[in-house]
Amino acid sequence: MLRDVAFERGSLANVRALKGDWRRVRVVGTRATGLELGESQLLDVTFEDAKLDYASFRNARLERVIFRNCRLDESDFGGARLTSVTFEHCPLLQASFDAAKLKDVELRGCDLEGISGAAGLRGAGMPVGDALANLTVLAAAAGVRLLDE
């Protein structure tokens, strides 16, 4: 259990905190490759300028969470419930959203190339330019074949 904690420019790499409870936590400039927060509850948490590639949020509950300028390549949000979550300028290359449930989620300036479970993004909002940049991923999730002119 973490309450009112700030991690700055440290390492949480490969930390296993399954079924954790994080409230009012701020993680800034921290290396957290392989961080495991499966089945955890994160409330009012901010990750900023953090390296979260290969991180697992599988079956976690995230509420009022901000990911800002974070590397989230191959991260796992499978089965997670995300409410009022914002992803700002975060590469989500090959991330997984299989069976995720989203409410009031925004993706701004995010690269979704190669993600799995794109249908799990149902309910997310993104600027039109970002949607166009990720058109192939979004079309595939909807089962739409894109044709050459």
Domain 2-140: give its CATH superfamily: E3 ubiquitin-protein ligase SopA (2.160.20.80)
Largest CA distance in the chain: 55
The pLDDT of residue 17 is 95
Number of H helices, E strands in the chain: 2, 8
**Single-letter code of the amino acid located at 141:** A
Q: What is the 3-state secondary structure (H, E, C) of 82-137?
A: EECCEEECCECCCCECCCCEEECCEEECCECCCCECHHHHCCCECCHHHHHHCHHH
The pLDDT of residue 142 is 84
Task: List Cα–Cα distances, 66 to 134, 137, 138, in angstroms.
Answer: 21, 23, 22
The pLDDT of residue 143 is 87
Say if residues 118 and 102 touch (Cβ distance below 8 Å): no
What is the torsion angle, in degrees rounded to the nearest 10, for the CA atoms of residue 67, residue 71, residue 72 and residue 74?
Answer: 180
The pLDDT of residue 140 is 87
Task: List Cα–Cα distances, 5 to 15, 22, 147, in angstroms.
Answer: 16, 9, 50
The pLDDT of residue 44 is 98
d(CA 75, CA 60): 13
Low-confidence ranges of the chain (pLDDT < 50): none
The pLDDT of residue 18 is 97
